[in-house]
Structure 1
Amino acid sequence: RGWGGPPSLGVPGAMVYIRVDTCFDGVGCEGVQQMEEEDADSYLEENRDKYMGYLTMESAPGFVLFAKLGTSMFQVEGYQCHLYAAELPPADEEDDDDTDEEEGQDGITAGGLFRTATLPANHTNMTGFKRPGRGEGLMDGEEITLFRGVDAADILQGGLGDCWLLSAFAAMAEYPNALLSLFQQRSPSDTGEYDITLFNFLAGEYQTIRIDDRLPVIQGGMVCKCAYVQPTADGEIWTCLLEKAFATMFDNSYKTISGGVSTTAFAALCGVGADKLAYISLVEQGWILYQPVLDSWRPYDHDNFRFGQWPDGTPGNQPKTNQELHALLCQWDENNYIMCANTQAGSDTEFSTQGIVQGHAYTLLGARQNVGSIQVDLVQVRNPWGKKEWTGDWSDNSPLWDEHPDVADALKPQASEDGAFWIGLEDFCDNYPSIAVVFKDMGTNYEKVSNPKGDRVASVLGGALPGAAAPGSNLGIDFPAKEEKANVRRRKKRLMKARKVKEDVCGACTLL
């Protein structure tokens, strides 16, 4: 548990949580420093908008390595991740939901907070808004943070039909620096206010949207949870806040973001116009490319697409074959473009015989050509539900991985229920008849840097540190393969223990 300080102070405390046998991904870490843990704790607290924690190593006592926000964590024996977490002040009594109903023109309530986005009228199971970690019953006693290890697997859809938006979030999460740049705050706000910058494509300019941390909830007995997108397994609330920012910009209503296409989300997230977006659809003759017309918050209001142009300069209405499309997907993946794929029309309560959700948007994580000795073409996608995966060829538990170990060695598939899976090109085309892509280099993709072709990577530590370990030893971290990431996420609560951060509020209190 975190410590909130003496009750009379009414100020948040701070904690450093230690996750044992856990290591940061080296690509998100900065130079090794010789520093006592107490000093590292204080430095971490002072720089919490830049770093999520620091690493200590049994082989190098007295040395630490700071990890930037958005850095992934892996299970590795002999290492410990020290993670900063703030304990938020409780919600004031005058700021409860009763006063929240009286909103002024700018959305400010009588209690000084504001809710902005309204709930859909037909969502009768909603029980209002609550603030996480503020003593109102939502995530109380949990480790609340804004950002930690940003990951596509963080996004878990709730009870709102905004898979088109959340699949775009997951695609954006492959590029943590780009995602972090949307938020003016990088750590939990004591006041509950957050400023998020999105591109208002109707106005043609960036817009900073101020929201608070009141989130739509559903109450079931003693259990209260977020009604829509869920906080991450690490206690990050950025997913909830970003969803709320979209609902606020899109006509101040969650109803407006129930149903849409990912090109709309890409425009707002990536700051691009229609000329940098494509919606690619499968017709009888092959794949054709459309360009969206961004003149409405709701893309289904009318015909919002026109023919665009393929990268080779040919008209968008000139069809491409499956193989030609796949070659483009591979190239766009290498160019750090973000993409989503949509399934056949239908209700998201319907499934294909092999597990594909109908009428649903998935994140397109990547594509690989001519893999292994059989030269197979594959596509990797992820369900924003975080579950319900493809069960056919090349799925997580497909026997094809054992039959073709060179393909398995190249791609390192994860046999875990995380929503992500590989699928063969022809099966992909049969199940995903439309694709959205944004033609913009999104910067560093940590997964590509840290796991090129799924291989293990060398440490950024650069070798042995003088005096830090036994003579001749090497401090290079052999980072684990991608399939081990899911295990540490499930285990981390059992591996967690807590210790104090120096508390200077009253100059005297230091508690474990």
Structure 2
Amino acid sequence: MRLNLGFLLGDPTPTPPPTSGVSDVYLLATMLMTALVIVLHVMSHLRNWKSGGSAQAGGALKAAVSMASQHTQELLDYVALLEKRVKELELATGAVPPPKKKIERAEDSPLLKSAHKAASVPKVPIEKQIDYSSADASKWNFTELTYKGSARYIAVGKEEKVQGPIAEGLKKIRETPAKYFAIKYQTDMAEWPAGEQEYRLIHREGTKGYSPQNTGPDGWMTILMAEYQRLPSLPSLPDEVKDGFTEEMAFQGYLLHHAKNPPLFPGRGQGIGDTPNLKIIGDIDPSDVSQGDVGDCWLLSAISSLAEFDGAIARLFRKTPNLKSMPREGPNKYTISLWDLATWTEVDVVVDERLAAKATGDGLLGCSPSHDGELWVCYLEKAVAIHCGGWDEIDGGQCTHAWSILTGCKEQYTIRKGKTGKFGCLSKFNPNERRWEALENSPQKGFRGLWPSAWPKVGGGGSYTLQLDEEELFMRMCAWDDANFVIAAGTKAGSDTQSTDGIVDGHAYTVLECVNDVAGTDVDLIKMRNPWGKGEIENGEFDDDGPGWQKYPQVKAFLKPVVADDGIFWLSKDEFFKYFHTLYVCAKDMSDFIPAHERKN
């Protein structure tokens, strides 16, 4: 495009401002040139006025004023067009102009801190069966105890009552330990005639955390338990392997570990991770996450969403040598790379293989290994707890904070429903001072507030004043999902002992997928996951056995829903916005987070 400078040569017709296809540089150059022309013309007429007689003075002055007026209007036209372009760019990029008046901080969001133990889960969990087909027969341990008949357990499988010789039952459990967890019988009955004897076989499937109580020589019952031990026992760790944190760990005012309550070694015969396929990382999946007794649903929902992307979790462990062959028989330690939010630099946290035990001595404090023996969640959670200053420091937080620690991304957004019923965008970016607020690793410390924020560019952008209705927000959620952003959602504030239709109050859920107009219908659905690994919506239109699947068979054929209480469930768009009034978005393409050589084609 060329500038029409004819008026410099005396052409009185101004150049009309272009209306399309114009570059910002052209506009600015034209505006400055027009201003220069005004000055030159006025100076020319003033010279004529000065050199001419009094008869010419009035005409020269009138011509100067006319020319200045004519080109001043042209200049104003260019200014107006440039202002329009600036506004268009703000809308397209989500940029926030410096505020004309001070912007007030938004109301702080409550910390999400539900713990698995807190709420009642209405459905009975379906435990996935561990595959013992590849088990090394030499690693089965058989422990015989006498006790007074009572036992503690998380779950117990089928009990099979058998009338017959106890010796046959003992032989059966030793020959098929993959099927049977234990045999129990009245101790003195072993001396009775074979035809009068009976025993009970406890099936391994469905049994978890079984522990006989009041054991000792005066017990009137005997139990023989078959337990798989993948790794040799370790009474303690050498000092050079210890991480320097595990011994001093505390939670809610109690020191966790001491001589009578040591930390737990997974895979070493302590009832944690005693499976043939024990490993750090396998086929990573959101379902690997199963929350323990710490109120860190915010962290685990964030981790669960990250687990959707192949290589993202492995990247956090990339500095651990020989990761694929771990855990080894000897002492193990793991290096996990996290982001220090005070400096926004990546740091390495080294943890040993011990996991935190509850102060009460009845199992793990934090996450459990996955059903197929993956330990990555346990050690990542432990590393974040150390990184943040202890277990109490992660007992409550926000998903956006977790994503910053895990990815180093500052562009974290909280989308919250306001009093008008529409949703606004918030972030840690201070629009008055044009900077990101200072954070600390602990979500309990540092800046905990939020500011009105421009919307993420992906999906349409928009200034901090933009409010979206549910339909508009859902379409942006679909765009964010397509752009490989990670998303989570928070329920209404309240006690995590309460729930509405199975959706727990004060709890964070992972948004796994957003699908609009599924299979050519007008049905919009959102796939969710509870970080507890169980507990789903009740009586939902598209719950596991909801009526929506029968009403829309093409939707069922397209999405292929799985019927299991695994914490994964589908919500209609209307149901989602009924239960969730807060959305968390990490505006980073997770495929960029993964090194190119680790991505799947």
- TM-score band w.r.t. shorter chain: 0.5 to 0.7
Deviation readout 1:435-490 (Å, 9 max, x if unpaired): 111111112999xxxxxxxxxxxxx9xxxxxxxxxxxxxxxxxxxxxxxxxxxxxx
Match for 2:426 among 290, 295, 299?
290
Structure 2 CA distance for aligned equivalents of residues 136 and 419 of structure 1: 27
Bigger mean CA offset, 225-234 vs 126-135: 126-135
SS in 2 for 1:418: coil
SS of 1:406's partner is: helix
Q: Deviations over 1:296-333 (max 9, x none)?
A: 33445554211221123422332111011101110111
- 1:43-442 equivalent positions in 2, closer than 5 A: 87-91=230-234, 93-95=235-237, 110=239, 112-116=241-245, 118-122=249-253, 127-140=261-274, 142-183=276-317, 184-185=319-320, 186-187=323-324, 188-190=326-328, 191-218=331-358, 225-251=363-389, 253-273=390-410, 276-285=411-420, 286-292=422-428, 293=437, 295-301=439-445, 303-310=448-455, 311=457, 312-352=460-500, 354-372=501-519, 374-391=521-538, 392-442=540-590
Distance change >3 Å, CA 246–CA 303, structure 1 → 2: closer
Tell me which residue corresponds to 1:470. Answer: none
The alignment partner of 1:340 has SS state of strand
Measured after TM superposition, the shift of residue 90 of structure 1 is: 3.1
The aligned amino acid for 1:367 is: C
Amino acid at match of 1:295: L
**Shift in CA distance, 402/141, structure 1 to aligned 2, threshold 3 Å:** closer
Alignment partners' CA distance in 2, 1:369 and 1:294 = 38
Assess, with a 3 A threshold, how the Cα gap between structure 1 residues 156 and 123 changes in structure 2: closer, same or farther. Answer: farther
Residues 62-120 of structure 1: per-residue CA shift (max 9 Å, x gap): xxxxxxxxxxxxxxxxxxxxxxx9954432x453xxxxxxxxxxxxx747423515221
8 Å Cα contact 2:510-2:531 kept in structure 1: yes
The answer on whether the counterparts of 2:243 and 2:350 sit within 8 Å (CA) in structure 1 is no
Counterpart AA for 1:405:
P
Cα distance in structure 2, aligned partners of 1:112 and 1:372 = 54
Q: What is the one-letter code of the residue matched to 2:494? A: G
Could you give the per-residue CA deviations for residues 12-63 of structure 1, whole angstroms, max 9, x where no partner exists? xxxxxxxxxxxxxxxxxxxxxxxxxxxxxxxxxxxxxxxxxxxxxxxxxxxx
Report the Cα distance in structure 2 between the residues aligned to 1:306 and 1:255, rounded to whole angstroms.
26
Partner Cα separation in structure 2 for residue 172 and residue 372 of structure 1: 27
CA separation in 1, counterparts of 2:353 and 2:312?
Answer: 22
More helix by share: 2
**RMSD over equivalenced CA pairs, Å:** 2.8
How far 1:349 moved relative to its partner?
1.2
Distance change in 2, residues 1:294/1:413 (3 Å): farther
What's the CA shift for 1:406?
A: 1.4
The verdict on how the C-alpha distance between 1:423 and 1:198 changes in structure 2, with shifts beyond 3 A counting, is same
Gaps of 5+ in 2: 1-134, 140-227, 429-436, 595-600
> Are 2:285 and 2:308, in contact at CA under 8 Å, matched by a contact in 1?
yes
Are residues 125 and 114 of structure 1, via their aligned partners in 2, closer, same or farther at CA, if it must alter by over 3 Å?
closer
- Which range moved further: 171-180 or 189-198? 189-198
Q: What amino acid maps onto 2:493 in structure 1? A: A
Q: Residue 302 of structure 2 contacts residue 403 of structure 2 at CA under 8 Å; is this kept in 1?
A: yes
Matched residues in 1 for 2:524 and 2:484: separation? 19
CA distance change for structure 1 residues 218 and 94 in 2, over 3 Å: closer, same or farther?
A: closer
Q: 2: CA distance between counterparts of 1:174 and 1:204? A: 24
**TM-aligned CA distance change 1:86 to 1:205, over 3 Å:** farther
8 Å Cα contact 1:4/1:87 also seen in 2: no
Contact 2:229 2:267 in 1 (8 A): no
Q: What is the deviation of 1:3?
A: 7.3
Contact 1:129 1:214 in 2 (8 A): yes
CA contact (8 A) 2:333 2:351 kept: yes
Q: Matched residues in 1 for 2:301 and 2:136: separation?
A: 33
Q: CA deviation at 1:415?
A: 1.7
What residue is the counterpart of 1:468 in the other structure?
none
Contact 2:256/2:357, CA 8 A, preserved across alignment? no
- Could you tell me how far apart the structure 1 residues matched to 2:336 and 2:586 are? 21
Contact 1:365 1:381 in 2 (8 A): yes
Q: Decide whether the 8 Å contact of 1:175 with 1:445 is kept in 2.
A: no
Q: Which structure would you say has the larger Rg?
A: 2
**Amino acid paired to 1:401:** W
Which region of structure 1 is more displaced relative to structure 2, 145-154 or 186-195?
186-195
Q: Does the Cα contact within 8 Å between 2:338 and 2:348 map onto a contact in 1? A: yes
Structure 1 residues 2 and 316, CA, compared in 2 at 3 Å: closer, same or farther? farther
TM-score (norm 2): 0.54
SS in 2 for 1:165: helix
Cα distance in structure 2, aligned partners of 1:394 and 1:369? 14
Structure 1 residue runs without a partner (length 5+)? 6-84, 96-108, 447-459, 461-512
Contact 1:330 1:369 in 2 (8 A): yes
Shift of 1:218: 4.1
Paired with 2:360 and 2:442, the residues of 1 have a C-alpha distance of 32
Aligned residues: 348
Superposition deviation, residue 192 in structure 1: 1.4
Q: CA 1:263 to 1:195, structure 2 compared with 1: closer, same or farther past 3 Å?
A: same
- More strand per residue: 1 or 2? 1
Deviation at residue 277 of structure 1 after TM alignment: 1.2
Secondary structure in 1 matching 2:588: coil
Secondary structure, aligned partner of 2:504: coil
SS at match of 2:335: strand
Shift of 1:225: 3.5
Distance 1:299 1:288, change over 3 A: farther
Calculate percent identity across the aligned residue pairs.
Answer: 30
288-297 or 163-172, larger mean C-alpha shift: 288-297
Separation (CA, whole Å) in 2 of partners of 1:444 and 1:403? 39
Which residue type is aligned with residue 386 of structure 2? Answer: T
1:197-235 Cα offsets, whole Å, 9 max, x none, are 0111211100011011110124999xx642211100011
Letter in 1 for 2:441: W
Which TM-score applies when normalising by structure 1? 0.63
The alpha-carbon distance between structure 1 residues 114 and 296, as it changes in their structure 2 partners (threshold 3 A), is closer
Q: In the TM superposition, what is the alpha-carbon distance from 1:260 to its structure 2 partner?
A: 0.2
Secondary structure, aligned partner of 2:380: helix
3-state SS of 2:503 partner:
coil
Contact persistence 1:3–1:87 (CA under 8 A): no
CA distance in 2, matches of 1:405, 1:3: 47
Shift of the alpha carbon at 1:288?
0.7
